[in-house]
Amino acid sequence: MYFPEQTFLVAGISRSGVAAAEYLLAKGAKVYLYDDVTDEAVREATEKLVVKGARTVKKEELASRSEECDVLVLSPGIPVDHPLPVSFKRMGKAVIGEAELGARALRCPLVAVTGTNGKTTVVSLLEHIFRAAGKNAVACGNIGKPLTACLKELGEDGLAVAEVSSFQLETLTSLRPHVAVVLNITEDHLNRHYTMENYIFLKQRILKNCAESEYAALNYDDPIVRTFAEKTHAKVVWFSLREQVEGAYCREGVLYWRGERIMSADDLPLDGGHNVANALAAICAAKLMGVRSETIASAIASFRGVKHRISKIGEVNGVTFIDDSKATNVDAAVKAIGSVKGESVLLVGGKDKGYAYEPLFEAVKRSGVVHVVIYGENAFRILNAAVKTDFTKVTLCRPFDMAVRVAYMTAKRGQNVLLSPASASFDSFKSYEERGERFAELVNAFARESESGSAAEESFAGAAE
């Protein structure tokens, strides 16, 4: 692309859209901005970009401006079958994403991670390991900063560690990681991708440009991911909880890399079999990038996880509150309830993503979950799944704040309140992060109420004496 002679329309003024527009403006391109959302955050971001030289497009101007533009830069939140990208494709014009701009400009090695669950944990863990090894590693992509916002920081000597979502893969064609990690494939985003076949196809695209000099680190235990080995030119390295594979594996509670002992599973800071698998995936990528085994073991042992993923955020009147707002699909929620110790009241609900919830309740019946509080836009779909699986210990409570309070009132001393929604957050929140922060705010409010109540009781007791 020769930016000074091309005109771009950036659609969706979100985090990635802002980064794309700033990058293009810095390159001397003519940039138009469009978003059909008109909230305060979009308005503020748009005003800042206009000061830098961007121009806004009104809805009634969209058709004429589209004809003027050479390239559409599409936010991951906008599907490729939206009328705007469809119109660009009909005109024979390019439709790309911010990550594609970043991939074309990247000049340093890249480790890319995709999968349904565990991406953020593995990317964060890898950044932690690489930095412990003295590398200028930057977590980017679908986590932290957009790729275009990290290009200067990375330069030629850095190491990009990118989380890559299926939404981003819709508009990515130039990504060529030195190590591509595929963690797992389970039902997710079917409201966007329509079929599992299409979802799987998109996930495979992370391997599309890998040559024989690159590596694909694949989950041997996932039957879908295992088939990806047949569809790549990269050297395949496996990780497995069950088999002694050519790569990273767990045997008798010890994590190995090609026969070399790395560390004991007891030294992992995070509970659950899925976190052992995450550690094995990270070991694969780190060893392939030349990190010493002792550095890997030390870094993994000191890792403290990611925010909103099975994180204890407080305790009120003997009830422990656990934030797993990042569990936006059934499989993630199943893993959470399987790894949380003790009995729990589970909070489930939000924006529906097109899959069945019966597997969640089958798992609930085998777990320490004693009650489920259902909330959100998809509450009746989830309730129907509970009825079908004969799980009756449920309360239906549509508003989120009220549902959290009901869960707190339902839980007994010594039990947990676990927010693991198995759903997207977009019915009431802008992101799973905002949902998790609201959960924390409510827990803090419960703590203040408890302290206030205790103080009132003490005051009453003193007056009585």
Please give the C-alpha separations between residue 138 and each of 121, 135, 287, in angstroms, as whole numbers. 14, 9, 18
- In this predicted model, which residue has the larger pLDDT, 240 or 311? 240
**Range 182-197 burial, b when 16+ CB lie within 10 A, else e:** bbbbbbbbbebbeeee
Contact 133, 111 (CB under 8 A): no
pLDDT tens, residue by residue, 227-244: 999 989 999 999 999 999
Predicted pLDDT of residue 457: 53
Contact 220, 241 (CB under 8 A): no
Q: How confident is the model at residue 398 (pLDDT cuts 50, 70, 90)?
A: confident
- CA-nearest of 203, 179, 176 to 189 is 203
d(CA 94, CA 320): 51
Torsion of CA 369, 372, 378, 381, to 10 degrees: 80
Predicted pLDDT of residue 424: 92
pLDDT tens, residue by residue, 427-452: 999 899 999 999 999 999 999 999 88
pLDDT tens, residue by residue, 369-388: 999 999 999 999 999 999 99
Region 4-22: mean pLDDT is 95
SS3 435: helix
Enter the pTM of the model: 0.83
Contact 389, 361 (CB under 8 A): yes
Element (H or E) spanning 174, and its range? none
pLDDT tens, residue by residue, 126-137: 999 999 999 999
Region 180-209: mean pLDDT is 89
Predicted pLDDT of residue 458: 54
Region 21-28: mean pLDDT is 97
Q: What are phi and psi of 266, to 5 degrees?
A: -65, -20
d(CA 462, CA 69): 75
Alpha helices in 10-52 (DSSP H): 15-26, 40-51
Query: Is 393's pLDDT higher than 90?
Result: yes
Q: How confident is the model at residue 460 (pLDDT cuts 50, 70, 90)?
A: very low
Query: Is 123's pLDDT higher than 70?
Result: yes
d(CA 238, CA 401): 43
The sheet that has 319-323: what strands, in order across it? 311-316, 319-323, 416-419, 344-349, 369-375, 394-396
pLDDT tens, residue by residue, 37-66: 888 889 999 999 999 999 999 999 999 999
Max Cα-Cα span within the chain: 85
Q: How confident is the model at residue 462 (pLDDT cuts 50, 70, 90)?
A: low
